[in-house]
Amino acid sequence: MTRRAAAQKVTGLSSIVAQVEDNELTRACDDYLAYLRVEKGCSPLTSESYRRDIEGYLETLAGLGVTGLSGVGHDEVTAHLAALLERELAPASIERAMAAIRGFHVFAVREGLCAHDPTEAVRARRRERPLPNTLSQAQVTALLDQAFEETPVGLRDKALLEVLYGCGLRASEATGLDLSNLLFEEGYLRVCGKGGKQRVVPLAGCASAALMRYLSAARGELHPKRQTAPTDGSAVFLSVRGRRLTRDAVYKLVSSRARCVGIDDLSPHMLRHSFATHLLDGGADLRTIQELLGHSDIATTQVYTHVSRAHLREEYLSTHPRANIRR
């Protein structure tokens, strides 16, 4: 399958074609989005976000009368950046849009579609990345040791929460787990992360015990009400109808169970952040945490050093006898 054919199949560029006549830019966009999906292995959500970002960019260029890559220069890219700023988008949305546009032009140069990259000298103001929100170890204990019902759903919820925190998984990674990914004898989970990258993470202690109990006593009880609707035979975590649990369902489940112990606005990703922060507090090195989280860049993992330092300062100020004495 050619890149262009793949793009038409997986990205649905009909809205671009309807608004901007087929030209060199739209054809290059087709190829780039196919490259992201087919060769880079970007997730459908990432591909869709980039598609919308580049669609907006092409509309700006069309409004400026630009139909070819050679007609795009610094001024045109800056004009689009200014349009994004005028819309008062979130800094993260502007940063992502510019990343998509830079990637598009880098791809075009590499493929020989144009001679220069007009985004080289364009720099959007980098946003300050907020420190991730985490739970204290006491809060995690309250969450995981609450009184779960001795029902299939209760055992499933307990196992899911233990695995999310005990293995540091994203919600999508937990819902994507298949029975073949569980390596109990070796003490590992095989996880498929962003971009289809696989990694193994340790499975031990409370997470292993809760997962084994769910599989032996509860999973088989989660099945469709209609005999004609088959249970998902490969998924680890099932809904009450026997289907693979969805990402949205995981978010609702985590939030609901957290509210039972007085924790508001808890997300699966906060459990992942807590996993990393508690490991660092316990003495784990940054490279190990990077491997466990599946980060391709150590810089992404380094945010937890800032969280840990903030925690250390709070502990110092609250416990040292002379920390808050002013003379």
pLDDT tens figures, 268-298: 999 999 999 999 888 888 899 999 998 888 8
Q: Does the pLDDT of residue 201 top 70, yes or no?
A: yes
Question: Residue 282 in contact with residue 110, Cβ under 8 Å?
Answer: no
Mean of pLDDT over the chain: 85
- Give the per-residue pLDDT at 14: 42
- Give the per-residue pLDDT at 162: 97
Phi/psi for 188 (5° steps) reads -140, 160
CA-to-CA distance for 246 and 255, rounded, in angstroms? 14
Give the model confidence (pLDDT) of 132-164 as tens digits: 889 999 999 999 999 999 999 999 999 999 999
Question: What are residue 183's DSSP bridge partners?
Answer: 188
Identity of the amino acid at 81: L
Q: Does the pLDDT of residue 10 top 50, yes or no?
A: no
Mean pLDDT of 221-225: 82
> pTM value?
0.67
- Give the per-residue pLDDT at 128: 58
Q: How far is CA 315 from CA 309, 319, 321, in A?
A: 10, 6, 12
Could you list the active site residues? 170, 194, 269, 272, 295, 304
Q: Does the pLDDT of residue 20 top 50, yes or no?
A: no
Mean pLDDT of 90-110: 89
Identity of the amino acid at 251: Y
Mean pLDDT of 102-109: 92
Q: Does the pLDDT of residue 127 top 70, yes or no?
A: no
Only one residue has tokens 């849009």, namely 97
Q: Does the pLDDT of residue 53 top 60, yes or no?
A: yes
